Amino acid sequence: MKRTVLRMLDEAAQNWTNDPFALKKTDQGYQASSFSQVRTKAREFGAWLLLKGYSRSEAFALLGEGSPEWIIAEFGLLCAGLISVPLSIKLLSDEIVFRLDHSESKGIITTHNQLEKALGALKNIQTREARLVYMDTDLDWALELVRKAGFPEDQFITLETASLQGREALARKELGLESRLDTINRETEEDDVATISYTSGTTGNPKGIMLTQLNYWSNCHDAKELFDNPIHFRTLLVLPVDHSFAHTVGIYTALICGISLYFVDSRGGGIATLRNIPVNLKEANPIFLLTVPSLSGNFMKKIIAGVEEKGGIAERLFKSGIAAGIRWNGDGFHTASFKTRIGAFFPYFCAKLLVFGEVKKAAFGDSIRFCVGGGATLDVKQQEFFAALGVPVYQGYGLTESAPIISSNVPRKHKFGSSGIIGPSVECKIMNEKGEEMPQGATGEITITGENVMKGYFKNQKASEEALRGGRLWTGDLGYIDEDGFLVVVGREKALLIAEDGEKYSPEEIEEAVTTSTDMIDQIMVWCDHKKYSCALVTLDTAKVAQLIKQKGIGTAEELCRALQDEFYAFRQDPKAKKVQKAWIPAAFQILDTAFSDRDGTINSTMKLVRYRVSLLYEDRLEYSYMAEGSTTVNPRNIETLRTLFPQLG
């Protein structure tokens, strides 16, 4: 039988018929849709799509917070043979326009929180026939917004109404819809594209990653095998559902494991959603969680703060127990020495017996077994802390182009600081620039082959050929495989910013905006690696700055620093500059007294910035950007650098 998402959906409805699949918070508490109900509703929506004349392989975009409706909408698209284009809710309207046009989407499915943004994008797309499907039920409010935006009402419909029309048409056996849905299911091939997921590339325009039915099938089954068949687990899905991590490991893997997905209550918008997470955690009582470094970091801070607030013997027991647990666990793979364990035994097991259980229950509920961390740079301190507490965070590694799992630490085999063992169906090789495989322990570019590797980039043959060379996916990330078989990721060659929550953005977008609006800055590197905000390193065009000093009568280094700060952020008012999402605008920049150069390896032979090399060489300045003193541009180090570059200043 063909290995497709549709087959997984069918088998889930048979294997877990009445078991809860997708659960949504309502005024009456969490309400569940079973696996069979989700399949039925998806086919009803799929029938409506066919009723409206949509054809196989046409695309439809999804923009919204995670919910049962989101899942039903995506599976409905697949049931009708269409392609889903999941979009990040953090996108600006202008950024959505490109994705809708490039994917040739026939419409967009959205929510209350995203409706205004979706309408703004629909005004500017190339097609005037795009439909808008609304996943929420506050119809009067939505229609008022639709009318104000001038969007045709006859092209607007709620998901509930569309599904009802599909259900009625199926009941009337209209146009042979039931048979057509079955035929599409039967004729869907493993190589058919299921989703086009857009990410920011290293150029101005994002690339559309084509993931196939087999990509998802393979990666889901790898996840199941890696984590020893996690049947009937529960989780609160806190990550955005457009992310490949939540998409595959959450939504699709649930189909083959009978996992119940609780969604965070998103009513009230972004701030309310964040506030709801602790409450929803207690209600969901998850067995496992999918996390990112910022989320697990916040958990750690709140746990420590809560214990410190209690003070007294509880605090002393907890802290001595964590320290002892870290010694007891070693690196997670190699057992600590007998002597070390003897010394750690009493404080560790006293804390486990007396305080850890209550702490875990208060933070995660009483069923939590582990978390799985996305991203390759989860702080080792976090891994050690949570392992000692008894809620290990198993760090994994992957990228959307690999659907996304490449490797993961797992309960039976893990090592702190690594990205885990390679997935069962994945072949990973570390290659040098000449395309030669590196020996074990040597650092090179991480490359993979496997059924999880994308089909390519949509309408971008050049980028596809560059990423898929010699039958392998070249990840653009640097790493090595250690003596115990663990993959260790040491740097990112890919020029992507990665925020605390795993969101990614192209630094070139920001760099181009800055350099378009000022000629004072000679070179710039914008940086963020799972941090709260972006920062930047810059070198100056000293001749132009000297002119600025003269023109403005600047007399001190501090005055100049303020003037350069104004120059740096001039792009925000410059109509010629590219628009940058507010969340990604660097909070501060550090001024360097030496230019990036091929002599120190920060510039390569083609005069391109070698970002990982810059981040290593100027690690102290990047870290300084996240300290209180360096978190603003007008700081002592920048002022001192300017005095060095322009000694005439006071």
What pLDDT digit, counting tens, does each position of 29-88 carry?
A: 999 999 999 999 999 999 999 999 999 999 999 999 999 999 999 999 999 999 999 999
pLDDT tens per residue across span 418-470: 999 999 999 999 998 788 999 999 988 999 999 999 999 999 999 999 999 98
pLDDT at 201: 41
Tens of pLDDT, residues 342-357: 999 999 999 999 999 9
Position 375 confidence tier, pLDDT thresholds 50, 70, 90: low
| pLDDT, tens digit, 9 for 90 and up, residues 123-156 | 999 988 999 999 999 999 999 999 999 999 999 9
Angle at 313 between CA 310 and CA 315, to 5 degrees: 50
Q: Is the pLDDT of residue 492 over 70?
A: no
First to last CA, the chain: 77
Q: What dihedral angle (degrees, nearest 10) is formed by the CA atoms of 252, 460, 205, 428?
A: 50
Task: Please compute the mean of the pLDDT values over residues 162-172 and round it to a whole number.
Answer: 97
Range of lowest pLDDT (2-6, 84-88, 168-172, 307-311): 307-311
Mean pLDDT of the chain: 93
Cα separation, 443 vs 446, whole angstroms:
9
Per-residue pLDDT at 575 exceeds 50: yes
DSSP 17: T
pLDDT at 440: 96
Q: In degrees rounded to 5, what are phi and psi of residue 242?
A: -75, -20
Mean pLDDT of 204-226: 94
Q: Work out the pLDDT band at 495, boundaries 50, 70, 90.
A: low
Task: Name the residue with higher pLDDT: 83 or 497.
Answer: 83
Residue 412 CB neighbour total at 10 angstroms: 9
Which comes out higher in pLDDT, residue 525 or 530?
525
Look at residue 59 in the predicted model and tell me its pLDDT: 98
- Of 265-274, 371-380, 576-585, minimum mean pLDDT range: 371-380
The DSSP annotation for 199-267 comes to E--SSSS-EEEEEEHHHHHHHHHHHHHHTT--TT-EEEE-S-TTSHHIIIIIIIHHHHHT-EEEE---T
Q: DSSP letters along 33-50, please? A: EEHHHHHHHHHHHHHHHH
- What pLDDT is recorded for position 377? 63
SS3 432: coil
Output the pLDDT for position 494: 62
Measured from the Cβ of residue 461, the count of other Cβ atoms closer than 10 Å reads: 9
Quick one: pLDDT at residue 104? Answer: 97
CA gap 313, 446 in Å, rounded: 48
Higher pLDDT, 494 or 24: 24
Could you give the 3-state DSSP secondary structure of residue 650?
coil
Domains and CATH numbers, the chain: 5-188 (3.40.50.980), 506-645 (3.30.300.30)
Q: Is 359 exposed, middle or buried (0-12, 13-18, 19+ CB in 10 A)?
A: buried
- Name the DSSP class of 354: I
Question: pLDDT tens digits for 388-411?
Answer: 999 999 999 999 999 999 999 999
The predicted pLDDT at position 577 comes to: 74
- Angle, nearest 10°, between helix axes 177-187 and 35-51? 110
CA distances 191 to 2, 47, 188, 448, 474, Å, are 10, 23, 8, 18, 20
Instruction: Tell which residue, 355, 361, 358, has the closest CA to residue 282.
Output: 361
Among 106-110, 127-131, 631-635, where is mean pLDDT lowest? 127-131
Looking at residue 608, what is its pLDDT? 67
Q: What's the average model confidence in pLDDT over 358-371?
A: 95
> Using 50, 70 and 90 to split pLDDT, how confident is the model at 606?
very low
Nearest-angstrom CA–CA distance, 379 and 392 = 13
Q: What mean pLDDT do residues 552-567 have?
A: 95
Share of the chain above pLDDT 70, in %: 97
Identify whether the C-beta of residue 133 lies closer than 8 Å to the C-beta of residue 158.
yes
Q: Does residue 174 have a pLDDT over 50?
A: yes
